[in-house]
Amino acid sequence: RNKTFKNNLTAAKDMFLYKKIHYILWYDWAPIGVNDLAPRDEYRSYVPDIFSLRKAGADRNQIANALFKIETEKMGIAGTLENRLSVADKILQS
C-alpha cells in the first residue's frame, strides 16, 4: 500500500516537473521566438530529452549543451550561451 502511494507521488512529481520544463522552454528559452505566434506545443518534442537529463542529475552545462544541440541540429539556429545557462538554472531549480 505504501509502495503504491510512493509510486503515485513520484508519478505526480514527475508530471509536475515535466510540465514545468515545458513551461520554461516555452516562456524562457524560445530560441526561435514563436511563443507569441505558434501553438503552445511548439517546443513539446524537446521536453522528454531535457526531462530525462534533469531526472538523471545533469548539471547546468549538460542541460545547456543539450539545448544548444537542439537549437543547432533541429532548429538551424543558435541562441545565446547566457540564455541557455539561465534556462538550465531554472530547470535545475524546478
Q: Using one digit for the tens of pLDDT, what is the confidence trace for 40-68?
A: 677 889 999 999 999 999 999 999 999 99
Q: What is the pLDDT of residue 75?
A: 87
Cα–Cα distance between 69 and 6 in angstroms, integer? Answer: 35
5: amino acid identity, one letter: F
Cell of 41: 506545443
Angle between helices 47-55 and 60-69 (to 10 degrees): 160
Is the Cβ–Cβ distance between 87 and 60 less than 8 Å? no
| pTM (two decimals) | 0.84
Q: Could you tell me which residue, 6 or 22, shows the higher pLDDT?
A: 22
